[in-house]
C-alpha cells in the first residue's frame, strides 16, 4: 500500500488542503499517528489531536474548522468516518486470500466444495454439505451434514454450522460462533424436564456478520431467520424460531428469546433483553441494558430502561431516581406534620 493524497482524494471525491503529493503506506489512530500514516477525525472532541499528530494525511469532514495550524495534509470529505471505512475496505481487498485444502481437512465424498475455497487445518465438511466458491474456512471449522455455506464467506477458527443450516453469500462468522444449536425447549414432566426435539434449522441470508461466541439456535420446526445485512456483535444469543429483520444491528450480550420477530434497521445496545413471542417494528432503537417486555409493532421509537420506556421519559425519570430517598424523607416529614395538625 502506497497512495498519494491526490489519489486518495480522487477515490473519495474529497478536496485537498496541503501537499497533494504526500504519501501514506499505513493507517493509524490520530493520537498515535506516525509519518507515512493516514488518520481520520470524525468526532470533534478529538480535534486537539489533529494539531499534534504526526500522520501525513488526515481525513476531516467538510464542515471542520481548524483552530490552530495543522502540519498534516487534510482531505475534506462529506463524512470522514465513512471515508476511512471505504479506504479500509479497499486495503483489505488487496490482501491475498488464502487458498487450498489443508491435508488434515476432511471433506465427505458427497460434499461439494467450490472453486478457490480455502479449508484450513482440521476443517470438516460433512455428507451432503456444500461450500461455495471463494469461501474461506479457517482451522477447526465444522460444516455438518446437509448444511450449506455460500460464496465468498469467511468462517474463522472453530465455527460450527450444524446440520441442515443454510449460510448465504458474503457472510462472516467469527471464532466460536455456533449456527444451529438446539433451541432451549423443554416440557415439564413428573420426574423433571423432557427435551423437545428441535427439528428445524437456521437460515442466514447474504451479507450477515456474526461475532465471536454468538449463538443462533435452530427452530423447533421451520427456520430461525437472520435476514440480509444483519450485524451481530460478540456473545449475542438468538433463540429458536426468531426472525431478525434486515440490517438490524445488536451489540454484545444482547439476548433475544424464542419466537421474537424483530423488524428492519433496528439497533440494540449492549445487554438488551427481548422477551419471547414479541413483535418489534422497523427502526426500534434501544439503549444498553434495556428490557423489552412486550411488543412494539409500530416501530420508529427510541427506548431505554427496564422495563423499556421512551428514552426521553427514562432520562427524566433517572434524574428523579437518585432523589427518591430525600423525597421519601420529605414525604414522611410532611405526613407527620399533617397528622399533628389534624390532632390539633
Catalytic positions are 240
Using CB atoms within 10 Å of the CB of residue 228, give its burial: 0 to 12 exposed, 13 to 18 middle, 19+ buried: middle
Cell 460444516, residue located: 143
Asked if residue 182 has a cis previous peptide bond (ω within 30° of 0), the answer is no
Give which of 276, 279, 277 is closest to 295, Cα–Cα: 279
Handedness of CA 39, 42, 47, 51 (dihedral sign): positive
Neighbours of 249 (CB within 10 A): 17
Contact 103, 123 (CB under 8 A): no
Residues 6+ apart with CB under 8 A from 75: 5, 8, 9, 12, 14, 15, 16, 17, 57, 58, 59, 60, 83
Pairing state between β 192-195 and 186-189: antiparallel
Q: Please, what is the end-to-end C-alpha distance for the chain in angstroms?
A: 89
Neighbours of 47 (CB within 10 A): 16
Neighbours of 118 (CB within 10 A): 20
How far is it, in rounded angstroms, from Cα 44 to Cα 39? 14
Handedness of CA 319, 320, 321, 326 (dihedral sign): positive
Q: How far from chain centre, in Å, is Cα 273?
A: 16
Amino acid at each position: 500500500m502506497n497512495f498519494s493524497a491526490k489519489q486518495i482524494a480522487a477515490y473519495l471525491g474529497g478536496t485537498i488542503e496541503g501537499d497533494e503529493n504526500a504519501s501514506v503506506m499505513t493507517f493509524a489512530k490520530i493520537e498515535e499517528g506516525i509519518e507515512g500514516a493516514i488518520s481520520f477525525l470524525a468526532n470533534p472532541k478529538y480535534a486537539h489531536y489533529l494539531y499534534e499528530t504526526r500522520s501525513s494525511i488526515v481525513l476531516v469532514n467538510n464542515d471542520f474548522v481548524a483552530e490552530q495550524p495543522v502540519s498534516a495534509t487534510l482531505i475534506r470529505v462529506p463524512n470522514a468516518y465513512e471515508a476511512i471505512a471505504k479506504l479500509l475496505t479497499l486495503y483489505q481487498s488487496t490482501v491475498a486470500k488464502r487458498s487450498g485444502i489443508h491435508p488434515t481437512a476432511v471433506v465427505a465424498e458427497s460434499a461439494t466444495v467450490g472453486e478457490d475455497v480455502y479449508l484450513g487445518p482440521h476443517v470438516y465438511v460433512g455428507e451432503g454439505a456444500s461450500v461455495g466458491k471463494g469461501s474461506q474456512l479457517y482451522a477447526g471449522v465444522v460444516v455438518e451434514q446437509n448444511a450449506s455455506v455460500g460464496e465468498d464467506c469467511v468462517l474463522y477458527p472453530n465455527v460450527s454450522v450444524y446440520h441442515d443450516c443454510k449460510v448465504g453469500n458474503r457472510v462472516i462468522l467469527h471464532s466460536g460462533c455456533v449456527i444451529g444449536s438446539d433451541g432451549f425447549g423443554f416440557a415439564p414432566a413428573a420426574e423433571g424436564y423432557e427435551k423437545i426435539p428441535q427439528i428445524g434449522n437456521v437460515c442466514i441470508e447474504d451479507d450477515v456478520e456474526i461475532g465471536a461466541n454468538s449463538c443462533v439456535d435452530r427452530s423447533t420446526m421451520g427456520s430461525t431467520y437472520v435476514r440480509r445485512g444483519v450485524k451481530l456483535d460478540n456473545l449475542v444469543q438468538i433463540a429458536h424460531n426468531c426472525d431478525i429483520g434486515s440490517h438490524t444491528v445488536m451489540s454484545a450480550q444482547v439476548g433475544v428469546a424464542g419466537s421474537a420477530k424483530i423488524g428492519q434497521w433496528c439497533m440494540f445496545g449492549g445487554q438488551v433483553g427481548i422477551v419471547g413471542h414479541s413483535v418489534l417494528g422497523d427502526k426500534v432503537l434501544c439503549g444498553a441494558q434495556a428490557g423489552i417486555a412486550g411488543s412494539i409493532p409500530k416501530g420508529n421509537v427510541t427506548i431505554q430502561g427496564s422495563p423499556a420506556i421512551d428514552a426521553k421519559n427514562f432520562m427524566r425519570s433517572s434524574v428523579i431516581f437518585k432523589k427518591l430517598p430525600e423525597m421519601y424523607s420529605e414525604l414522611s416529614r410532611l405526613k407527620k406534620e399533617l397528622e399533628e395538625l389534624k390532632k390539633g
